[in-house]
Amino acid sequence: MAARDPSESVPGRFDPFAWARRSTREVRVGDVGIGGANPIRIQSMTTTDTRDTAATVDQVERLAKAGCEIVRITAPSIRDAENLGPIRAALRERGIEVPLVADIHFTPNAALEAALHVEKVRINPGNYADKKRFEVREYSDAEYEDELARVGARFEPLVRRCLELGRAMRIGTNHGSLSDRIMNRFGDTPLGMVESALEFLDVCEAHGFRDVVFSMKASNPQVAIHAYRLLADRLAERAGGWSVPAYPFHVGVTEAGDGEDGRVKSAIGIGALLEDGIGETVRVSLTEDPVKEVPVARALAARYDERRPQVAPPDPGASYVASRTVHERRPTRAFALGPHPVGGDAPVRVEVDLGPVPADAPSAVEALAKGLGRLGDLACEGVSLDVASGSEVARARAFSEALRNLPGAPPLAMRISPDLATTLDGWADRLVLRIERPDVELPGRGSAALEWSFEAPTGELAGLVEAAFAGASPPDLVSFVGDPPTHALRLGVALLRERGLSLPVALRHRSDPFLDAEVGLLRAATDLGAALCDGIGDLVCLGGFGAIDRDVGVAYRILQGARQRTSWTEFISCPSCGRTLFDLEETTARIKARTAHLPGLKIAVMGCIVNGPGEMADADFGYVGSGPGTVNLYVGHDCVVRNVAETAAPDRLVELIRDHGRWVEP
């Protein structure tokens, strides 16, 4: 029997197989409560210069009118912090009551000033009282304690002021901007992020200050998921159990970028956490007008505000992953599907769910051929048809025949009820048997590869799996389709682990045609991304986005966002704020136009020199605003070109990529 996850041993354990919101205390931010029984709150941040009162007030008003419930404003200096007072007053004059948060990095004095004017202060434990120098040095225990005492002394005045004025605080850790002290002891890891936040919580709790919200952001959704989970575990341990209301979490993926990439990456990280019941307030960071972040955050949160806690299914006897806080792809045995191995070390395969059997096979294959022709470098590694009843068998055969005449046609899967399997053997490369009842008779293997698709509520899944594996020899591939999809899949995989079965798993997602296109994209990214970030999934079967090339494109975007299969350059771009030194949206678009064809390369585009270099995390090359009209270029964390004119910077970046042997011609 596989071991259960150690985090589940905390009293009143977190149940990964049944959705429920984490129990949290309410933290008031002005009139808006975060956590407790409140809905998930939506946040965003201004991008204006904080000293430009009129522009900032206008932007806050636009955000509030778009549905943003809490607005953050950067306060890089005391003068910026002082201007939060007039900003707040002007907003109240306009009847805008939205609570404000001051964003503080490096300037404790600005935090003290800001707390006089706004309802909440966000501090970054990595740079509240530390400068980042990327110094490698050993700290003895005594030196480490001295450092903690120094940081505590710098932080205490803010804690006392927040306590006195009834302000809330976010302890907002970012991967990539951890202090040298933490980096040297714990590394740039989820554990380091958690330890960094807890050091500051110790100071808060020592003063009896508990109006604290946490965040653990990273541009890599996997890192963010692991850090938030680890922190949830640690807080539950400190409190003495999962049922004790914990501090609320502000969840987000930082520097997610723009467009579809930014939305997919955000949905993967934020969605996976919301699937765990983690997240009491959400901020989606896009390199776009911040008003555009609001509907994305709202769409992500709405699904969980509506969701009711589930009844826990019977204990499967095993965890679904070896660890919930360390990424490891689930080990599986491979099988051949046409020219592509599936499972084992093979990349996660991409298959398109074509939906029902078409009435006119030749036209459907012609449309498929056109869609495949638009794919460019992306490979469609399979197509799948739903055969709903015996009356569709003849049409399914006609489609199969027409597809065989298409040169380079992808392998064909047919999803059918088990009693029809023999009628289609020889007509498909893979038969996908829908298993919805435990008493169904499963046919033996024919010439096609075999997938068992368990489709039932989570409470019935164990019975289905038990009956299927007791009565027939195992298939090549399995899938679990239930509601919510993440929990059905986890339970199914735990049932496989409990039996010691290393069968590859297909992740199936068909977008609901009645959903808004953006909401459909976010749901696909959440459902598939949450599994992929847990190391589960050997084949993704996706459909319903309107065109074959679109289905394939979305699948590859999700695989890239979950860091499972890289097809394009990875861009890490900050959302911009009042410190930004150039038009970030336009600059990111220009850099993308030159460098988007370099799969495997990570390029950061960051608005300022104060935070940018620290927060580029694991980027290979960095483009960072250093002053008005000037840019610094980085290779890893090393600044190699200083103050180059903005007009010349994209060319210099391309040169640098070339000099480091990472360039290929488009």
Which parts of this chain interact with ligand SF4 (CB under 6 A)?
574-577, 579-580, 606-608, 610-612, 615
Find the shortest distance in angstroms from Cβ 629 to ligand SF4: 15
Of 12 and 629, which CB lies nearer to ligand SF4 in the complex structure? 629
> Measured between alpha carbons, how far apart are the two ends of the chain, in Å?
51
The Cα angle at residue 416 between residues 410 and 421, in degrees rounded to 5: 95
Find the shortest distance in angstroms from Cβ 585 to ligand SF4: 12
Of 469 and 634, which CB lies nearer to ligand SF4 in the complex structure? 634
Which has the closest alpha carbon to 603: 589, 619, 590? Answer: 619
Find the shortest distance in angstroms from Cβ 192 to ligand SF4: 20
Which has the closest alpha carbon to 565: 579, 555, 576, 577? Answer: 555
DSSP string covering 377-423, please? T-----EEEE--SGGGHHHHHHHHHHHHTSTTPPPEEEEE-GGGHHH
Of 217 and 234, which CB lies nearer to ligand SF4 in the complex structure? 217
Measured CA to CA, the distance from residue 528 to residue 613 in angstroms comes to 31
For 241: left if phi > 0, alpha if psi spans -120 to 50, otherwise beta; the answer is left
Find the shortest distance in angstroms from Cβ 122 to ligand SF4: 12
Q: Which two tokens stand for residue 192?
A: 């380091």
Find the shortest distance in angstroms from Cβ 580 to ligand SF4: 4
CA dist 119 to 58, 105, 132, Å?
19, 17, 28
3-class SS of residue 70 = strand
Measured CA to CA, the distance from residue 573 to residue 588 in angstroms comes to 7
Of 319 and 611, which CB lies nearer to ligand SF4 in the complex structure? 611
Of 49 and 58, which CB lies nearer to ligand SF4 in the complex structure? 49
Of 558 and 584, which CB lies nearer to ligand SF4 in the complex structure? 584
Of 564 and 576, which CB lies nearer to ligand SF4 in the complex structure? 576
Of 72 and 508, which CB lies nearer to ligand SF4 in the complex structure? 72
3-state DSSP helix/strand/coil % of the chain, to nearest 5: 40, 20, 40
Of 15 and 583, which CB lies nearer to ligand SF4 in the complex structure? 583
Find the shortest distance in angstroms from Cβ 611 to ligand SF4: 4
Find the shortest distance in angstroms from Cβ 625 to ligand SF4: 7
Find the shortest distance in angstroms from Cβ 173 to ligand SF4: 14
Of 29 and 608, which CB lies nearer to ligand SF4 in the complex structure? 608
Name the strand (E) or helix (H) holding 625.
strand 621-627
Q: Which residue is nearest to ligand SF4 (CB)?
A: 607
Of 103 and 476, which CB lies nearer to ligand SF4 in the complex structure? 103
DSSP string covering 152-221, please? HHHHHHHHHHHHHHT-EEEEEEETT---HHHHHHH-SSHHHHHHHHHHHHHHHHHTT---EEEEEE-SSH
DSSP strand pairing (602-606 vs 621-627): parallel
Which has the closest alpha carbon to 426: 412, 415, 408, 416? Answer: 412
Find the shortest distance in angstroms from Cβ 400 to ligand SF4: 53
Of 59 and 576, which CB lies nearer to ligand SF4 in the complex structure? 576
Find the shortest distance in angstroms from Cβ 105 to ligand SF4: 7
Of 255 and 381, which CB lies nearer to ligand SF4 in the complex structure? 255
Find the shortest distance in angstroms from Cβ 616 to ligand SF4: 9
Residue 260 φ then ψ, to 5° = -65, -35
Which has the closest alpha carbon to 587: 287, 289, 219? Answer: 287
Of 106 and 249, which CB lies nearer to ligand SF4 in the complex structure? 106
Of 99 and 612, which CB lies nearer to ligand SF4 in the complex structure? 612
Find the shortest distance in angstroms from Cβ 51 to ligand SF4: 15
Find the shortest distance in angstroms from Cβ 575 to ligand SF4: 6
Find the shortest distance in angstroms from Cβ 271 to ligand SF4: 23
Of 283 and 509, which CB lies nearer to ligand SF4 in the complex structure? 283
DSSP string covering 288-357, please? S-GGGHHHHHHHHHHHHHSPPPPPPPPP-SS-SSS-SSS--PPP---EEETTEEESTTSPPEEEEEEEEP
3-class SS of residue 37 = coil
Find the shortest distance in angstroms from Cβ 45 to ligand SF4: 8
Which distant-in-sequence residues (6+ apart) come within 8 Å of 558 by Cβ? 264, 268, 524, 525, 528, 529, 532, 540, 542
CA dist 572 to 221, 250, 584, 605, Å?
12, 20, 12, 6
Which distant-in-sequence residues (6+ apart) come within 8 Å of 404 by Cβ? none
Measured CA to CA, the distance from residue 419 to residue 538 in angstroms comes to 27
DSSP strand pairing (383-386 vs 412-416): parallel
CA dist 469 to 44, 457, 459, 613, Å?
49, 18, 18, 53
Q: Which two tokens stand for residue 652?
A: 């210099």
Name the strand (E) or helix (H) holding 495.
helix 485-498
Which has the closest alpha carbon to 21: 304, 314, 324, 315? Answer: 304
Find the shortest distance in angstroms from Cβ 574 to ligand SF4: 3
